[in-house]
A and B are shown apart, each in its own frame.
Chain A
Amino acid sequence: MSEMLKTSGLTKNFGGLTAVNNVNFSIEEGDLQSIIGPNGAGKSTFFKLISGEIKPSSGQIVFNGNDITGLAQTQVSHRGIAVAYQITNIFPLLTVLENVRVAAQSRKTTFNFWSKAESHHEITDQALAILEEIGLVEFKEDIAGNLSHGDQKRLEIGIALATQPELLLLDEPTAGLSPTETRYTIELIKKISDHLTIILVEHKMTVVMEVSDKITVLHYGSLLAQGSPDDIRNNEEVRRVYLGGVKV
């Protein structure tokens, strides 16, 4: 197995606040790693640094052997990293199918003014396959903004998948979901992790413990602990700062 992503000394300061502090993190191809930590620990900021949405204050990000530190977000996307955002970030007035279709189209063409969008069957087919996978194919003609919260969360994942990433960053995909919906999303994550490398940020410990190969704990932007689900479950410090009171 080869190392897909590696951050060294990754740091992000917002004025006086260090949201991400000297984080060394790496993930092997095919793995599913989780990042946990209290609110404001810097998990989403860590994702934004990797995806190029914001530039690090210092440190380095290497993806598939290439230094991608400071690359623009669009370029990072084309290198093969996609994000499913914590705060649902879809195209609310477009149809469910178009949400995924336009994301899939990003791999093929932008400045094509002449052909009909519908005539690109391979793109539509790919989008439909993803809708099938995320369980939204029956809503394909619906306006995305009218979907339930749970369905929008899955569409969020669908948009990310449509850009055919090698590495998928999932930011709290089950937040606000019912137990049934959470179950569905867990199964979905398991399924897509067969052919994708995934970093998962999640508060629900049951989810994290069930799907992760390895867990990283962030606390005030710093790496507190790293290890297998069992290691983390039994780590005294982690229990104290994060899991305290939570039964896992």
Chain B
Amino acid sequence: MQTQQAEVGAGAPGGAWDRVVDLVSRYPVTVITIFFIIFPFVVPYKALATQIIIWGLFALGYNVCLGYTGMLSFGHAAYFGVGAYTLGIVLIRLWENLWFGLACATFMGAFTALILGFMCIKRKGIYFALLTLAFAQLLYFLAFQWVDLTGGDNGLRHIPAVPLPLPGFTVDIQDPLRFYFLVLFFVVLALMLLQRVLQSPFGRVLEAVRENDPRARSCGYETTNVRWMAFIISGAISGLAGGLYALYLHFVGIETLYWVTSGQILMITLLGGMGSFIGPFIGAGVFLFLEDVLSAITDNWMIFLGTIFILCVLFFPEGIWGSVMKLVNRSAGKKG
């Protein structure tokens, strides 16, 4: 190995940062939950907080692909978009029930990933990336053409503002803070389920496949199916995020399915750092915050955001969280 990695011992000496990193690495779900419970009270407005956790959830799903399995997808707009449209269409046409709508969004995200994954998964690297992109664009054009169902270019409008049905009573979630906590509930649920999956025997196989696919195959694992399954899980989480996004906007724009969305989620994930729970949320936070600030200053905010992104990738290839980890590890190594 070229890089000598220092390890953070359980009792890594002093330093607030060290302790934060240690805590986050050991109890990611708890730390993220607590942080995001406080979060809406410290950010300027709740809408930004809500967007951050929705995109963080999407990036978490994307990360199952990129960070945990090592598959570079360039078509995750498909699963996010399908989730969003599914929620809208279900609420408008089928049943005005929030649970049902989100369940359908998650399912359709997974189902789309199952179908498209089947066609892409045998390819690797750039071919895989291009195939995922091509299929996602196909869905975009399909949604564009199928005006009756999707509203086409105008987007899917008038998604009803449904309340949250709980046993015995219903809760109005139009209040931004309540809506934020509804989203947070799903984020935490997804985190807990994903953590469970990553610690399961399947999670270990996933690691092995990412580390050395040919060797995993020679050990008897059908690695194509393993990657396919990871792709489906990734699609499910992305679909859920898309459904929440539609619920939040009461609207689905056609651009949700556009390749720019796929690029954005890749940027967010790389920015935050792959292969951790916290990275995607940091990435979503930084990305959306910068977008918010920059777009208020200039119309050409994309150029600045792009430049910042390029600089980040050049100088912090492990992403923000990855770089923090490395820094802390290095200083712990020096001291220890």
Which A residues contact B (CB, under 8 angstroms)?
Answer: 51, 53, 73-74, 77-78, 82-83, 89-94, 98, 101-103, 105-118, 120, 143, 145-146, 159, 162-163
A91 and B218 contact, CB distance less than 8 A: no
Select one of B5, B197, B214, B226 contacting A110, CB under 8 A.
B226
| Distance of B325 from chain A, by nearest CB (Å) | 14
B residues lining the A interface (CB < 8 Å): 1, 5, 196-197, 199-205, 207-208, 211-212, 214-222, 225-226, 229
List 22 interface pairs A-B (beta carbons < 8 Å), by A numbering.
Answer: A73-B217, A74-B222, A83-B218, A89-B212, A90-B212, A92-B212, A94-B207, A94-B211, A101-B204, A102-B219, A106-B219, A106-B220, A106-B221, A107-B220, A110-B226, A112-B200, A112-B201, A112-B202, A116-B200, A117-B199, A117-B201, A163-B219
Cross-chain contact A51 with B226 (CB below 8 angstroms): no
Q: Tell me the complex Cα distance, A145–B1, Å.
A: 7
Q: Which residues of B lie under 8 Å from residue A73 when comparing CB positions?
A: 217-218
In whole angstroms, what is the CA distance A27 to B5 when docked? 45
- Distance (whole angstroms) from the CB of B232 to the closest CB of chain A: 11
> Are the CB atoms of A113 and B215 closer together than 8 Å?
no
Find out whether the CB atom of B201 lies under 8 angstroms from the CB atom of A146.
no
Closest 6 CB pairs of A and B: A77-B220, A91-B211, A106-B220, A112-B201, A106-B219, A102-B208
With A78-B220, A83-B218, A103-B219 in contact, is A111–B211 under 8 Å at CB? no
B1 contacts across to A, CB distance below 8 A: 92, 145-146
Which one of B200, B217, B220, B222 contacts A113 once the chains associate, using CB atoms below 8 Å? B200
> Which of A53, A92, A101, A107 meets B218, CB within 8 Å?
A53
Q: Are B212 and A116 in contact (CB under 8 A)?
A: no
Structural contact, B222 and A92, CB atoms closer than 8 A: no
- Decide if A110 touches B205 in the complex (CB within 8 Å): yes
A115/B207 contact (C-beta < 8 A), A74-B217, A89-B215, A106-B221 known: no
Q: Which residues of B contact A92 (CB under 8 A)?
A: 1, 211-212
Given A73-B218, A77-B219, A117 contacting B212 (CB threshold 8 A): no
Let me know if A110 and B218 touch, CB within 8 A: no
B215 touches A90 (CB 8 A): yes
Partner of A98, one of B5, B202, B204, B214: B204
Inter-subunit contact B208/A117 (CB<8 Å) = no
Contact B208 A94 (CB under 8 A): yes
